[in-house]
């Protein structure tokens, strides 16, 4: 999957546009965010009321939060472009151009995260924080599920891959799942105030991971 991502990013595939080459082509940074519709029926508890408990990923507007769906996507794209300007091979799922009839969105997210040097979930303040928490939690459960993660959070031993995951949120985002990101999975949770601050945090995290691969204990993925 790593090589397929690298190859696809440099050319127009499906509905995706080709991205300009970057200095560190082998350093993949997968940016995630709540900007598209997900199969929430599969993520909600069995006893949940779909009418009241389902997050409305694709229906945010000016009355439901600070960001509409298009603005969330724009923030993701601006962060991607900013990181690419700094040499990191940052991408969104829609940039890879894998058709959904070949691989569904949830499976793509897991595969992209597993193939990447760093995975960053950007969670701006929106009207439905439940949706943000559900998506982050489902991805982390699949990505970081190991024998050491069975049982209560206090007894969990997160895998090394958790060090490659960061959640960047606005200060006003409140979700029990975000608290569990650090408590259960020992992943980094940082806050940002605007698009420039978001890029700065993400770039710092990517540099930290890169240094960990070059000089520390993280395995190099290239």
Distance CA 168, CA 178 (A): 10
DSSP 10: T
61 has pLDDT over 80: no
Residue 125 to residues 52, 72, 133, 140, 155, Cα–Cα distance (Å): 20, 9, 12, 20, 31
For the segment 163-179, what is each residue's pLDDT rounded down to a tens digit? Answer: 899 989 888 776 656 66
* pLDDT band (50, 70, 90) for residue 108: confident
Distance CA 130, CA 126 (A): 10
Q: What whole-number percentage of the chain has pLDDT above 90?
A: 37
Answer yes or no: CATH 3.40.50.450 is held by domain 2-215.
yes
Distance CA 116, CA 153 (A): 25
Distance CA 31, CA 10 (A): 17
Phi/psi for 27 (5° steps) reads -95, 95
Distance CA 100, CA 21 (A): 25
Residue 78, SS3 per DSSP = helix
For the segment 199-221, what is each residue's pLDDT rounded down to a tens digit? Answer: 999 999 999 999 999 999 899 88
Average pLDDT, the chain: 77
In DSSP terms, 189 is beta-bridged to 167
Distance CA 130, CA 215 (A): 38
132 has pLDDT over 80: no
The number of residues in the chain equals 222
Q: How many CB atoms lie within 10 A of CB 151?
A: 10
- Ranges 50-54, 88-92, 114-118, 204-208: which has the least confidence: 50-54
């Amino acid at each position: 999957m790593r090589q397929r991502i690298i190859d696809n990013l440099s050319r127009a595939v499906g509905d995706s546009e080709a991205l300009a080459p970057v200095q560190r082509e082998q350093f993949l940074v997968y940016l995630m965010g709540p900007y598209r519709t997900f199969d929430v029926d599969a993520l909600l508890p069995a006893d949940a009321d779909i009418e009241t408990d389902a997050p409305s990923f694709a229906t945010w507007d000016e009355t439901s939060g600070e960001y509409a769906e298009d603005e969330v996507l724009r923030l993701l794209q601006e962060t991607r472009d900013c990181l690419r300007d700094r040499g990191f091979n940052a991408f969104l799922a829609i940039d890879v151009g894998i058709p959904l009839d070949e691989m569904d969105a949830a499976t793509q997210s897991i595969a992209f995260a597993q193939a990447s040097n760093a995975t960053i979930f950007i969670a701006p303040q929106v009207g439905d924080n439940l949706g943000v928490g559900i998506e982050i939690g489902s991805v982390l459960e699949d990505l970081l599920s190991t024998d050491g993660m069975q049982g209560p959070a206090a007894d969990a031993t997160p895998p090394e891959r958790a060090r490659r995951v960061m959640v960047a949120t606005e200060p006003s985002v409140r979700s029990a799942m975000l608290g569990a990101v650090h408590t259960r999975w020992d992943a980094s949770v940082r806050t940002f105030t605007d698009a420039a601050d978001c890029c700065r945090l993400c770039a710092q995290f990517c540099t930290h991971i890169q240094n960990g691969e070059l000089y520390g204990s993280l395995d190099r993925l290239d």
